[in-house]
Every structure is written in C-alpha cells, then in structure tokens.
Structure 1
Amino acid sequence: MKKTLIFLLGTVMCWYGNGQESNSERPERIDNLMQAVGDENAWRTARGFYMLEIAHVSRYKLPLVREFWIDFEQPRIMMVSNNVELNEIRVLNVDRGWTSKNNQVTAWDEQMVNGFRSFWPGIPTRIFHLIASNDPHLTYEIKEDRIIFYIDGEFVVWIATDPKGNPVAYGRSNNHAETHFLGEMLPYGPVRLWKEAFEPGGQWGVLMADYQLLPTLSNVSYSQPKD
C-alpha cells in the first residue's frame, strides 16, 4: 500500500548532535525547526497530546474521523476510528494492547504490540518534545535534505524542513519507502503544526482538525476493559 519515493538529492555534509545541548549550542537547523513549531516551553512541559483528524484511507469508501491520545513519556497510544463502516478503538499500553470492535474486545499478539511500539518513538511531535526537553537519549544527524533522528542510537524518523524551518515531510524509513508530505503550517494553541499530511499516490491522507498538548493524561485510561 505504501508508495516508494526516491530522493535524488545528494548528501554532501552531515552534522551529529544530541539533545543535551543548550539552545545556544544547537545547530541553526534545529533552532529553526523549533521556532517554526511554536512555543518551546509548551512542548517541553507537555506530557502528551490529543489529536482529531479526518483521514482518507484507500481501503475505506468514506473518510474516517480519528482521535488520538498519545503519551510522550511512555509507549501508550489510544486511537478511536469512526465512520459508517467502522467503529473501532485500538490501544497500546506499554507492553500490551487491545482492540474494541463491534462490542468485542481482543488482546493483541506480540507482532501487533511490536508494530505500534516501533511507531511510537518517532512520532514527529514527540520528537519536538524531546528536543525541547534536551533529552539525552535523542541524537540527530543533519544532512542536506533532511534531519535524521535517533533514540539510543536507533533510527526513528527523518524530518525535512524548508529554509525557514517549517516541516515539509517526514518518514520512518531510511530508504523513503514511507514518506508523508506536510501542508500549510497553522496555529494550534501555543504551537504550530501542519494542516494536512499525505502520501504520494493518494493511498493515505489526513486533515488535522484539532491538536492539543496535554499537561497530564490522568483522565485517559489505556487499560483493557474487563469482561
């Protein structure tokens, strides 16, 4: 389902840095990125986020309304998807997960859990939180056409920016097998993010209707409902 995009831009120089640097020591590309996405203190103090989006997925005839509650500090994701064809809740809760669909709850197998856990570290807005927090586990490699981010030495995501630092694309594969292009930047409270994201070929696209940084997730339960 994923379309492959090959960047032909050659990489001439790269720069390695880490999240422990103070703002004054950060490279200009990182500073520009953080200035573009809004209030750095808001990113630093947030525990997670809520997002509402309208998603087009090729396997569904109609768009999906999707809501997310995602924890920045632990691998916890709640995704609620609704349209006339689907009413589903998917939840990753650290080392386990579950799905509620058609009033039936099923536990995830190890493959499903690992799939969501591999996605979580490189969520772009989580990366902004880690940069703002000077997280010692985060490192980055600055190349001509993108910034590559690593956590504990493992690749998690790359982000491309325009000359002003605005994010214009990101991907979770070094060979660009999964590339998301990003639209116009808009304010969402104290921060600024893209209005839309899409893949080439029209297989997937989302319109962001709301984004809120959350100071706490204490009112969100990721636990699997009991029978």
Structure 2
Amino acid sequence: MKIVLLWLALATTSLAETAEERAERFLTAMGGRAAWSQVKFAHVEAVHDDLALAQPFTNKIWNDFTAPRVRFEAKNAQIDRRRAIDDGKGWRSRDGVVSESTPAQIEEDRRWWEANIYRTLHRLAVNDPELTARAVGEHRLEIFRADGKRLNWFVLNPRGEPMLFGTWDNETGGAMGPLASNGSVNYPKWGAMPDGSWRYEVVRLVTAEKAPVAISFTTP
C-alpha cells in the first residue's frame, strides 16, 4: 500500500505543470513567443457596452509598450472622451473641454499601461528579467514584478487560452472570449465583467514594432 501511494505521489509530481511551461502554453495559444517578441505597440478598436451609458461606444487605444505612452478615445453620439499620458505627463478631454490630468489620474493610467495584457505578453515573450511567472493550482498563471507585486493573473483553459483575467490586487477579474487573429498574433475577441456591468468586442487589433509617428500622445 505504501509503495502504491508513493508511486501516485511521484506520478502526480512529475505531471505537475511548471510556471515556465504554463507561460509557454499561454504564449503559444496567443500566437507564439516569436510573434509577441516583435510587438512593441498595439492599437485596439472595440465596441463597449456599459450599464451607465444609454448607447454603446467605440473605444480606441494606442499603446506604446516601450514607455508609459498610451492614448484612449471613447466616442458615440452622446460622448467624446479622450485622454493620454506621455512618460509622466497627461491630459484629458471631456466633450471638448481639455484639462491637465492630475497626478492621481496619471498614475492610474500608468498602472493600466504597466499591467496591459498585450504588454505583458511581449515582456513574457522576450523573457523580461523583471517578471516572474507562477503556476497556481491547475489553471491559473500569475505574473509578478521584481519587487513581488502581482501585475496580472490568468485562468487558462487546456489549450492555454485565457478564460478569466485580472490585474494587480483585483480578484474579481473579467471573462475573456474565444481567440481571434490579426494575422500575426491572437487576441480575445470579447470580454465582460462577471456582474454584467460592462462588456466589449474587439473589432480591430493592429500590432507593430513601434508606435506610428502620426499618433500624438501629447495633444487631443
């Protein structure tokens, strides 16, 4: 009996997935390490639906992975909201009224940038030494900074695709839909909050090795 139990324990240990194996499975599902290692900029266009707004809106994001430079635009017939940060500076435009971002707003957008899923995929692909991966349970992958703070967590299905995703200390997270491809990498086609308060569907994802010069992070 003791021999059988020992054999079962050894078999279970040998089948346990390491953090590196889980991260590799994730990268493979998302289009591969080689593809994501080349991506240093992403432009996302999605249609969002929010319980606080009467109509869906188009949300566009331009994200430079190399430094805290990101621009957001949310528009429909009722709203026109834009904002951006550029390496420590920021501005906001709400229905045509432009203002400087407060330090707290800049920090909030910088944290969004730091934990963005596409940026994390790039950093995993290039083996960024500042990141550490941990396999938690059977399905969860957690990504940590060098100082021990958690950036992201993912619940992966057996194919390595993300089903649930969260950032920082948020344990609620959001659901992610089946993967689509832009011809270079894969990405979740949609996402939603578990409480039904918010959802989105990606209609376009453009990835590149650098941010286009035509994109302004400093002016509306």
Q: TM-score, normalised by structure 1?
A: 0.83
Given that 1:15 and 1:141 are in contact with CA atoms closer than 8 Å, whether structure 2 keeps it comes out as: no
Equivalent residue letter for 1:67 = K
1:165 is matched with which residue? 160
Query: CA separation in 2, counterparts of 1:104 and 1:158?
Result: 36
**Could you tell me which of 122, 125, 131 is aligned with 2:124?**
131
| Identical counterparts, % of pairs | 22
**Could you tell me which of 157, 181, 185 is aligned with 1:191?**
185
**Could you tell me which of 212, 222, 226 is aligned with 2:206?**
212
Q: Which has the larger radius of gyration?
A: 2
Q: Shift in Å at residue 80 of structure 1?
A: 0.8
Q: More deviation in 168-177 or 212-221?
A: 168-177
What value does the CA root-mean-square deviation take over the aligned residues? 1.9
5+ long unaligned stretches in structure 1: 1-12, 18-26
- 3-state SS of 1:169 partner: strand
**Could you tell me which of 27, 36, 48 is aligned with 2:29?**
36
Given that 1:52 and 1:209 are in contact with CA atoms closer than 8 Å, whether structure 2 keeps it comes out as: yes
Given that 2:23 and 2:133 are in contact with CA atoms closer than 8 Å, whether structure 1 keeps it comes out as: no
**Could you tell me which of 188, 197, 200 is aligned with 2:194?**
200
Q: TM-score, normalised by structure 2?
A: 0.86
Query: CA separation in 2, counterparts of 1:157 and 1:169?
Result: 11
1:86 is matched with which residue? 79
Given that 1:29 and 1:165 are in contact with CA atoms closer than 8 Å, whether structure 2 keeps it comes out as: yes
- 3-state SS of 2:73 partner: strand
Query: CA separation in 2, counterparts of 1:187 and 1:99?
Result: 32
Query: CA separation in 2, counterparts of 1:102 and 1:108?
Result: 15
- Aligned length in residues: 203
Q: Shift in Å at residue 39 of structure 1?
A: 3.7
> CA offsets, 1:72-107, max 9 Å, x none?
111111011111110121111121211123322100
Given that 1:97 and 1:224 are in contact with CA atoms closer than 8 Å, whether structure 2 keeps it comes out as: no
Equivalent residue letter for 2:57 = L
- 3-state SS of 1:125 partner: helix
1:97 is matched with which residue? 90
Q: Does residue 65 in structure 1 map to residue 75 in structure 2? A: no
1:22 is matched with which residue? none
Query: CA separation in 2, counterparts of 1:102 and 1:122?
Result: 28
Equivalent residue letter for 2:177 = G
**Could you tell me which of 113, 121, 124 is aligned with 1:120?**
113
Query: CA separation in 2, counterparts of 1:185 and 1:41?
Result: 18
- 3-state SS of 2:66 partner: coil
Query: CA separation in 2, counterparts of 1:119 and 1:191?
Result: 21
